[in-house]
Amino acid sequence: MTLTPASARRRAALNPEIPAPTTEVITGTPEPVAPQAAKAAPEAPLRYLAEDLGKDHHVYAGASKDASDIVAALPSAEAFEADLTDTDAILGAASQIEELDVLVLAAGVMEHGPLEELTDEKWREMMEVNLFAPVTLTRALLPALRRSSGLIITINSGAGFQGFAENSAYCASKFALRGFTESLQEEEAGKVRVTSLHPGRTDTDMLAGDDGRPKMDAAEVAKAARLAVDAGPDAVVEFLRVRPART
C-alpha cells in the first residue's frame, strides 16, 4: 500500500516509531512544442533524482509524457501531471498539494541554432519551460514550503553563467533562472531554503551527437541535489556547481 503524505503522518502520530515521510515535487519536461527540433531534458536525471530522494520522501513525479514507471518504482509516489507551458494546468496541479518539504525544478528544453534561425516560437517555448513554469510553480507552492520551512532546488546549467554560440535563447533562459533563484534566496531567507544547482555537461539525450567532450553520468546531478537536501534544516547550500572531472 502506498501512503499519501497525510495518511503517513496520521500513522506516525499514532505510532511515534513510524517516521513521517517528507514530501517532494520533482518537475519533469513537457512535450516540446516542436518535438522534431527541440531537445528536452531526458527522463534519466528525473529518474535518478526520484529514486534517490524517494528513499525517504513521498515524491510527486513530473515527466514529459508518463511518470507511471517512475512512480511504480518508488515506495511512496504519485504523478504530477501538468503541461508546463499552460499556467492554468500548473496551478490546477499545484492546488492539490497541501504539504510540501522539497521542490525540485528540473524541467528544461534546449534548441540549438544561430539567432536568425531561432524563431519567436522557439524563444517563447524555452522561456515558458525554463523560466516561467518554475516561477509559476514556486509561487503556487510557496505557502506550503513556508509552513514546512522547506527547500527549493532549481536545476540550472553552466549556461546560467556563460554564453555559448548558437545557444542564445537557452542561455538567456538559464541566466534569468539564476537571477530568479538568487533573488528568491534573499526574499525567503529564514523561511524557505533555496539552492541553485548548476550541472555541467551531462550524459543525456540533450547533448547526444555533440563534439565528444567529457560528460558525467546523470546520477551525479542527483548526488549534488541530495547534498542540499541533507544540509537542512539549520543550514542551506545556496549554490552548487558539479561538472565532469577533467582528464
What is the C-alpha separation between 214 and 246, in angstroms, rounded? Answer: 8
Active site residue 170: yes
Bridge-based pairing of strands 109-110 and 22-26 is unpaired
Report helix, strand or coil for 118: coil
User: From edge to edge, which strands make up the β-sheet containing 102-105?
Assistant: 77-79, 57-61, 22-26, 102-105, 151-155, 193-199, 239-242
Which residue among the candidates 132, 170, 175, 180 is catalytic per the annotation?
A: 170
Residues 6+ apart with CB under 8 A from 211: none
Residue 198 phi/psi, 5-degree rounding, is: -120, 95
| Burial readout 10-30 (b: 16 or more C-beta within 10 A, e: otherwise) | eeeeeeeeeebbbbbbbbbbb
Whether the CB-CB separation of 135 and 180 falls below 8 Å is answered with yes
Angle between helix 120-127 and 168-187 (nearest 10): 30
Diameter of the chain measured on Cα atoms = 63
To which residue does cell 524555452 refer? 126
Question: DSSP of 7-37, one letter per residue?
Answer: HHHHHHHH-TTSPPPEEEEE---PPPSSTTT
Positions marked active-site = 170
